[in-house]
């Protein structure tokens, strides 16, 4: 199979592209809004939303921050609500995590 992001040939059962680090395969199967465990800054809300809507996580964080500032704190309350409401991403099985490959995009 090929990575949709960089177009390189990768393992058929790969969850993450070894070349660019983009999540592949699992994204289609898992179309649930979850708080990501990897690469989170606070609670993983922004990262989870970015993955769900296929957006840049920095853009989501900026929009969320600007919304919070413009609305005078409602955005922060919404973040906390999302923190409580949105479930955490389930732990990945050890077999699916390539050892020695840590993906840090942010």
Q: Which of 20, 63, 97, 103 binds Zn ion (CB under 5 A)?
A: 20
The reply on whether position 1 binds Zn ion by CB under 5 A is no
Residue 19 interacts with Zn ion (CB under 5 A): yes or no: yes
29-45 burial: b if 16+ Cβ within 10 Å, else e: eeeeebbbebbbeebbb
Give the residue from 27, 20, 15, 34 showing the smallest Cα distance to 97. Answer: 15
Number of residues that bind Zn ion (CB under 5 A): 7
Q: Residue written as tokens 């040939």?
A: 9
Q: Find the binder of Zn ion among 17, 34, 47, 86 (CB under 5 A).
A: 17
Q: For binding to Zn ion (CB under 5 A), which residues are involved?
A: 3, 5-6, 17, 19-20, 22
């Amino acid at each position: 199979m090929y990575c949709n992001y960089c177009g390189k040939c990768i393992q058929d059962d790969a969850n993450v592209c070894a070349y660019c680090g983009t999540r592949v395969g699992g994204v289609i199967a898992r179309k649930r809004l979850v708080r990501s465990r990897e690469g989170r800054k606070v609670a993983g809300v922004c990262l989870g939303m970015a993955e769900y809507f296929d957006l840049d996580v920095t853009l989501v964080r900026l929009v969320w921050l600007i919304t919070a500032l413009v609305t005078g704190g409602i955005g922060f309350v919404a973040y906390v609500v999302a923190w409580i409401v949105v479930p955490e991403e389930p732990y990945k099985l050890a077999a699916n995590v390539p050892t020695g490959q840590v993906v840090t995009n942010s």
